[in-house]
Structure 1
């Protein structure tokens, strides 16, 4: 059975089996066997290929990394834990946004603080998109019950929907900028996720506590680790169920 994940990752990065073979120092026929016969490379070759195609080992070879090893690697993916989001230095957000070259993914209900702490964020996102960065922003649908339930749980009825409408006044300025998607969701939000290529800030949510006062994990993806991928997969699942609203539907 062929390894379609490996083949797709190689092609998606504009590479060929021959090119991969040259870079890691093996025979091209060996790479072909890894693809067509789903042979598992030695660990040193898995590490090298995963780095070249910017995928995790656990994704390319699901059976090669034991759950125990993936768990140990996942622990090493944690760079920093902040007791509350408000204690994350602004410089951290700015560095992650500025260095992103492929993806900027935002999953929140509103995430209004991002544009409040950086008035130039919209222009930055527009420029990033023009430079080829894929920008995906998933916000809560202010017309759905889940949003009002969150407001009530935090003791501020109506506030969350108002924040979403307020932040949309900023994101609407992006217009139809290529490579920028602003979409809506109505999922129960267990975590807000802010992904910048291979780094991520995960804002955990605690019942009755506003997001600025809840903990944040700073993660950096490691090949073979499973913690970063867990949250990346969560973002992707919400993305699949997200949808667009007409601007008039989110107007005050």
Structure 2
């Protein structure tokens, strides 16, 4: 009993509520906490929202054209890190990281390199679409953001991490600049999309979690966008070896 009380107190602190509130969540499974409290609880417990509050997920199911939208977050930083880890872990065929720097992934996902190596070794295609650090597009966006940790510095972190995975044949990387204002991350038939707002960095921008449910829907359109940019991109290793980036 004492351990249960202590656990409830810890969860309450993580969610920013009192222990009695957590007790009511447990005593009444049909009681659905506010969305921000559900996200905080999922992050603290390392569980999916569908596991802890399936009713909340079912009530959000849609049947119209927007049924591919699973969740939305006002800020990327509001999404639990466990969501990203779950999507990476479940993917079997394709992992595409088309963020301009992809910098945050290496900070927020423990041993991401090891996870990607294992995925590639079991036949999963892993791709990184990265902004060209020396392009005029990158420089213009750096000036707009006006933050000390520049885009080119963040790109350099990703390049350094990918260098350690260069021996894995199914991990690819290309430079492109057409996604400077739109990050798309694909995990088989699920996707995270983040439109980058003016003067905002990625973690401060809104985020959508999509799941493919139809032909030519939102998922397919974002996927086609990434494929077009990928087809125009330059192999990061060929560019760096020739001293062009």
CA deviation after TM superposition for structure 1 residue 214, in Å: 0.4
**Superposition pairs of residues 71-90 of structure 1, within 5 angstroms:** 73-90=64-81
CA distance in 2, matches of 1:106, 1:149: 22
TM-score, normalised to structure 1, is 0.67
SS of 1:136's equivalent in the other structure is strand
**2:166 aligned with 1:175:** yes
**Superposition pairs of residues 50-65 of structure 1, within 5 angstroms:** none
CA deviation after TM superposition for structure 1 residue 198, in Å: 0.5
CA distance in 2, matches of 1:209, 1:156: 10
2:141 to 123, 146, 150: 150
Higher relative contact order (CA 8 A, sep 6+): 1
**2:80 aligned with 1:125:** no
1:228 to 203, 219, 227: 219
Contact conserved, 1:109 with 1:147, CA < 8 A, in 2? no
Paired residues in the alignment total: 180
**Superposition pairs of residues 197-208 of structure 1, within 5 angstroms:** 197-208=188-199
CA deviation after TM superposition for structure 1 residue 97, in Å: 0.2
Contact conserved, 2:71 with 2:208, CA < 8 A, in 1? yes
List structure 1 segments (4+ residues) > 6 angstroms apart after TM superposition. none
**2:172 aligned with 1:192:** no
Cα RMSD over matched residues? Answer: 1.8
SS of 1:238's equivalent in the other structure is helix
CA deviation after TM superposition for structure 1 residue 74, in Å: 3.5
Change (3 A) 1:95 1:250: farther
TM-score, normalised to structure 2, is 0.69
